[in-house]
Amino acid sequence: MMPNRLNDTLFQLVHTLEKSEKRNFKLYIKRSSAKENLKIIQLFDALDKLKEYDEKLLLKKMPSVEKPQLANLKTHLYKQLLASLRVLKSTESVELQLNEQLDHARILYNKGLKLQSLKILERAREMAKANYKFNFLAQVISLEKKIETLHITRSMQDRAELLSTEALEISDHIDMVTKLSNLALRLYSWYIKNGHARNEKDETGVKQFFRENLPANVNERTDFYERLYLYQSYTWYAFIRQDFLMYYRYSQKWIDLYEQQDAMIGVETGHYIKGMHNLLNAHFDLRNFQKFDTVLKKFEAFGKSDIANHHDNFRVHTFVYINSAKINKHLMTGTFNEGLLLIPFIEKKLDEYDMYIDRHRILVFNYKIASLYFGSGNYEKCIDYLHKIINDQVGLRNDLQCYARLMHLMAHYEMGNAEIIESLIKSVYRFMAKMENLTVVEEEMFKFLRNSFYVPTKKMMPELKKFLQKIKQVENSRFETRSFAYLDVISWVESKLSQKPMGEIIYNKYLERKKRRGN
């Protein structure tokens, strides 16, 4: 990732522009022949040609601009770029169209053209209602009330009563959406910081928080955004608690909501993409192989649609979630070597999209890629990717930090690095204990790794069988499942006992499950 690339907001904006947007900007700015505007085009061209932001090089390319002038010139260019983008993109977003109509209505009102203003507000009202944009509707009604209060327009009898009633209804709706979106956001934030519930204390805390913040009579609400944030809240609540059946049900409800009102896919595309990601994750967690494939194909088809490629955000998030799901497919089928073929393309795109992708997504990709290398037996490459997580200081996903260290320890064990195993076991154990991330599985894992170096080769098989028996006893325990979700320790031990590759063990389990489920 380029260290200087994110240091300048103007540079960042210029380098996100497509060819059509650059062309539109120049046409927009050349309408004015002001001398200052010619300078900002020079600045724009200079920034566009730079691969990384370098102020000294930039000033060298613009000898007519002194260093003290540069800051003001950059501010002016930034504002003009946003203005040109707004003109170009005004028809591409419901929110931008509504904002434009509100601006026009205010301008007409200030010009004294009250009835013209009300006509535009009426159109804005219908658009806001059709797209469930109640925050905009509140602004429309606020301006309508202002006009009706200050002027006798005679636009409609009983107008005051209707506006007052509608304003109260919208206020109630906005209040409900605010409560539900806050609940969804805070639950998601809890997961991003901690991962799944680690113990009874975590679970009790999350349950209490959910109960206390879920609004009364919420299930009676039928509006799109109320249902969307309600389903999101239940999705995160179930996922944190590893109730994967509930997780599946509510991520499916999330997508069903869009399928019942498919026009909303174009209005709230980001939430649709996130919903598809969660539905795929739910099928992955439940090992619903056929449904996973069906949803992935549907998601890939969506990824090629105009809607998915309409904005940089949508294009990037679709790429992230589709490729995350593709890796998941190889992890659950044990086809690790096949999965490794995806990595060059993924890394190329991650570099291309480095300005758009958050650190959390990078951490998850690094862990998944490390898991592929571990499963394929390439422990050195596995360690390289785990170091990227262990050395990351962003303070996200304590669970990933713990399991990255555990897999790192196991990779060194596989490589036979006896001289560092003892110190690694101590440091990883201390770290996981500090993070309150030790379960029975991890405790048994540490015992096995600590003792196995002192066990003669002939006695290793009985030790492995004993270890397998202990961890299999807790395979379905509530707070142990998280260990197996991050690292398939059971398949790892079984591969050692059968002296077969780990991928073969997982692939055979996949075939058995498919046969059992008839898919």
Same domain (yes/no): 63, 112: no
How far is Cα of residue 224 from the mean position of the Cα atoms in its chain?
A: 21
Range of the structural domain that residue 463 is part of: 358-519
Percent of residues in the chain assigned helix, strand, coil, to nearest 5: 75, 0, 25
Residue 444 lies in a domain: yes
Per-residue pLDDT at 35: 58
User: How far is Cα 500 from Cα 491, in angstroms, rounded to an integer?
Assistant: 10
Domain count, the chain: 3
Tokens of 105: 């209505």
Q: How many CA atoms lie within 13 A of 7 on its CB side?
A: 10
3-state SS assignment for residue 343: helix
- Domain of 382, CATH number, reads 1.25.40
The region, left, alpha or beta by phi > 0 then psi within -120 to 50, assigned to residue 50 is: beta
56 contact partners, CB below 8 Å, separation of at least 6: none
Shared domain for 44 and 116, answered yes or no, is: no
Cα separation, 281 vs 312, in Å, equals 23
3-state secondary structure 365-392: HHHHHHHHHHHHCCHHHHHHHHHHHHCC
484 within domain boundaries: yes
- Per residue of the chain (519 residues), what is the pLDDT tens digit? 333 444 689 999 999 898 989 999 988 887 765 655 688 888 999 999 998 898 889 998 888 888 888 999 999 999 999 999 988 887 778 888 999 999 999 999 899 898 899 999 999 999 999 898 988 999 998 888 888 777 655 555 566 778 888 888 889 999 999 999 999 999 999 988 888 888 889 999 999 999 999 999 898 888 999 999 999 999 999 999 999 999 999 999 999 999 999 999 999 999 999 999 999 999 999 999 999 999 999 999 999 999 999 888 899 999 999 999 999 999 999 999 999 999 999 999 999 998 888 888 999 999 999 999 999 999 999 999 999 999 886 666 788 888 999 999 999 999 988 889 889 999 999 988 888 777 888 888 888 888 887 788 788 899 999 999 999 888 777 666 667 778 899 999 999 999 999 999 999 999 998 888 765
Q: For residue 88, give both structure tokens.
A: 């170009």
Cβ–Cβ < 8 Å for 283, 292: yes
**Are 444 and 433 a contacting pair, CB within 8 Å?**
no
Shared domain for 54 and 144, answered yes or no, is no
Does 503 fall in a domain? yes
For residue 95, which of 129, 133, 121, 148 has the smallest C-alpha distance? 133
- Classify residue 150 as exposed, middle or buried by CB count within 10 Å of its CB (0-12, 13-18, 19+): exposed
Q: Which of 58, 89, 120 is the last residue of a domain?
A: 89
Residues 53 and 106 in one domain: no
Residues 73 and 116 in one domain: no
Spatial contact of 316 and 356, defined as CB atoms under 8 Å apart: yes
* Domain assignment present for 116: yes
Measured CA to CA, the distance from residue 107 to residue 447 in angstroms comes to 74
Other beta carbons less than 10 A from residue 281's beta carbon: 21
Nearest CA-CA partner of 363 in 411, 402, 334: 402
Check if the beta carbon of residue 117 is closer than 8 Å to that of residue 147.
Answer: yes
Q: Are residues 380 and 498 in the same domain?
A: yes
Q: Is residue 270 part of a domain?
A: no
Domain assignment present for 192? no
Residues 470 and 435 in one domain: yes
Q: Is residue 164 part of a domain?
A: no
Measure the CA angle with vertex 381, ends 376 and 382; round to 5°: 65
* Residue 110 placed within a domain: yes
Q: Helix (H, G, I), strand (E, B), or coil: what is residue 64?
A: coil
**How would you class 451 by CB atoms within 10 Å of its CB: exposed for 0-12, middle for 13-18, buried for 19 or more?**
exposed
Shared domain check, 30 and 140: no
Helices (H), 304-358: 312-333, 336-340, 343-352
